[in-house]
Amino acid sequence: MSWLAGWLLACVPSDAPAPAPTPSEPLQTSTSVWTAPPGLGTGQVVRLQRGGATVAVSALDAFGAAPSVYVVPVSAASGSLDDLATATFTNHPTTQAGFDVVVADLDADGADDALVLGSLVTDLLSENTSVMGMLAGPLEGALSAEDLVGAWGGGTTRSYARRLSVADVSGDGVDDLVVTIAALDFSELNGIAVFEGPVTGLPIDGPHDYEISTDAEVGYGANFLTAQLDDDPEHELIVQAATSQEVWLTDARRADADSGRIGVLLQEGWDFAYLGRSLGSGRVVQTDLPEVWLGANGYGERAGRVDAHVVREGLVGTWVASIESHEPHGLFGTSMCLADLNHDGHQDLVVGAPGDPYFGEPRPGRIYVFGGPVAEGEHDASEASQILQMSEAADSFGYAMACQDGQLFVTAPDDPDGKHVYVFEGMRW
């Protein structure tokens, strides 16, 4: 499937696989299941709205045959996404949408808007152009490309691609729009663009206000996360540099845009480990310092691992903990989420291991729940407080996730029965 193309890279053939950890039963956990027709890649992305009241779910391979994006209340019970969604976006029949999606009040009018990233959102753009489209709130009912109030293409040689975020990175107290810049053919990722908020609908190719870029060919921006990592009121960037196997900690204010890199988290000798495939920020180890968590799902014959670094003054990262899987081709670290899921006052860590669709035997996906606090030092994935598996099929369960205190959303894009989103509440272990 096209949404899995990012996994199609070389790997080292494995020896006999290690015994798989035994999944555990969810204890005192309420589970809802949101369904959609199988085969459409539903669950490529799941993103919580800024206030935590709704969640957006993308179906990357819908191609106009079904909604590309669903906006669903977080309180929705089990059922079909078509019935549960308060708003849907269906793209042009020949084009993709749903590479990423955010729901937030972008234009500061009191109503949530949606930004949808896709390969093509109107007939006016060339086939190879990736663009963002904005849907102005309130978000209600069935929406289509005709409802877009603005689209940004990025220019004639580059486009906006792969990842979106909304946060105040410029330091003026207003949320900004942050997005990766890439070459039109996606051969080069070389920057992060910032639209200073509030953001309103603009003509196609409307310019961003400034960008953070690098001279080196490091794949800067393949993935990124906005998070507050120091005492300043604005958010910083945690940016994957996929080619060089680095993760950069960057101050994204306009005054610092030329300097780009401030702190670098580098793992030597991790070729094809995909350091930064997933990113998280919080306080799970609880050292009284902000933490950055990095997933490397290709590490160790694609078994995967996650590492925690505390962030000190000057955006300097120091390693404090790791969790490593020894199940080849599990792709542990493809996704992660940090929140206090069991309401005990400590943040917990959830890591997705959806399985390897190209180089491993078909297997069900799993998520690993590590109740906080996690001790400093090295750990094995089998030490998880819970290991959850929802079917016996190769369903890619754990491919994407989102969470907030007391609630966890996990996708299974390849589930053959269309069980594409699982919602866990009241988790205990």
What is the average per-residue pLDDT within 197-218? 72
Mean per-residue pLDDT for 399-415?
A: 96
Query: Is residue 286's pLDDT more than 90?
Result: no
DSSP 82-140: HHH-SEEEE--TT--EEEEEEEE-TTSSSS-EEEEEES-SSTTS-TT--EEEEEPSS--
What φ, ψ does residue 300 adopt, rounded to 5°? 65, 65
- What pLDDT is recorded for position 215? 61
Structure tokens that stand for 251 in this block: 């101050």
Q: Is the pLDDT of residue 263 over 60?
A: no
Express as a percent the part of the chain with pLDDT over 90.
Answer: 44
Confidence of residue 199 (pLDDT cuts 50, 70, 90): confident
User: Is the pLDDT score of 238 beyond 80?
Assistant: yes
Q: Find the mean pLDDT for residues 230-256.
A: 83
Q: What is the pLDDT of residues 301-313, one digit of tens each?
A: 889 999 999 998 8
Q: If you average pLDDT over residues 236-246, what whole number do you get? A: 85
Identify residue 160 by its one-letter amino acid code.
Y
Whether the pLDDT of residue 333 is over 90: the answer is yes
Q: pLDDT by residue (tens digit) across 91-141? A: 777 667 778 889 998 888 899 998 888 764 444 444 445 677 888 999 999
- Residue 85 scores a pLDDT above 70: yes
Question: How many C-beta atoms surround the C-beta of residue 241 within 10 A?
Answer: 26
**Mean pLDDT, the chain, integer:** 82
1-56 residue pLDDT tens:
333 333 333 233 334 444 566 676 655 577 999 999 888 888 888 999 877 899 99
Q: What are the φ and ψ backbone dihedral angles of 5, each rounded to 5 degrees?
A: -60, -30
Closest-CA residue to 337 (of 48, 76, 72) = 48
Between 282 and 257, name the one with better pLDDT. Answer: 282
Per-residue pLDDT at 171 exceeds 90: no
Q: Which of 101-115, 186-200, 367-381, 385-399 has the lowest mean pLDDT?
A: 186-200
**Residue of 110, 168, 181 whose CA lies nearest to 139:** 110
- DSSP class per residue in 296-329: ETTHHHHTBEEEEEEEETTTEEEEEEEEE--STT
Angle, vertex CA 416, rays to CA 410 and CA 420, nearest 5: 20
Q: Is the pLDDT of residue 273 over 80?
A: yes
pLDDT value of position 123: 42
Distance of CA 150 to the CA centre of its chain: 24
In this prediction, residue 185 has a pLDDT band, given cuts at 50, 70 and 90, of low
C-alpha 311, offset from chain centre: 21
Nearest to 70 by CA among 118, 114, 38: 114
In the predicted structure, residue 345 carries a pLDDT above the cut 80: yes
Give 157-167 pLDDT, tens digit per residue: 667 767 889 99
